[in-house]
Chains A and B, each alone.
Chain A
């Protein structure tokens, strides 16, 4: 069975601080995909990034960066110089690549509050 653990339920940081959101996953598949979604206070779910299990390169997009380490089954998300607009619930998710339907398994989310 697949499992995604986001151990940090809530995090508060002061604006301009860096913050890392942790994600640890479990899967028996050798090919899988990892995702991060953002859910701002307005409630919609916004796709942030997708990473496949064969690509362990870190990725940077503006103030956002992702560190994928297969050896520790982790896919952590760092926000540099946080801003109030980053306040949201962030979900890490895992899917496999089996034929037919696949299912996204979500972590329980980390609520990030950025204080001005």
Chain B
């Protein structure tokens, strides 16, 4: 079934540890995105990628990095996790980054707790 997969589903992480959240899509979408969802704040964009080999910063990029080596994968790395990064992380994709008319398709999310 086509879609977006994220791993892990949930994780408890000690502060200061490095963590990579994985995201893979099989729809051959050009654009991919990482959001975090916090209670009362909705979804906020962390980083995005228009196409393989390019990335950009969203609204809340500090403390996070991304890479886009190929079309399908868009991992999000927390170099040194802090408790304020406790959140639910959603990966999303859309067919064409230059067309705002396309909806974004979302993965199931990763629930991360930093202690």
Give A residues with C-beta under 8 Å from B.
Answer: 9, 31-33, 35, 37, 43-45, 47, 50, 52, 91, 95-104, 106-109
Contact = CB atoms under 8 A, between A and B. Distances in A.
A98 B103 CA distance: 15
A45 B90 contact: yes
B43 interface: yes
Interface residues of B, number: 27
A96 B98 CA distance: 10
B108 interface: yes
Contact of B56 (A43, A99, A101): A101
B104 interface: yes
A47 B105 contact: yes
A95 B100 contact: yes
A102 B100 contact: yes
Contact of A47 (B90, B97, B103): B103
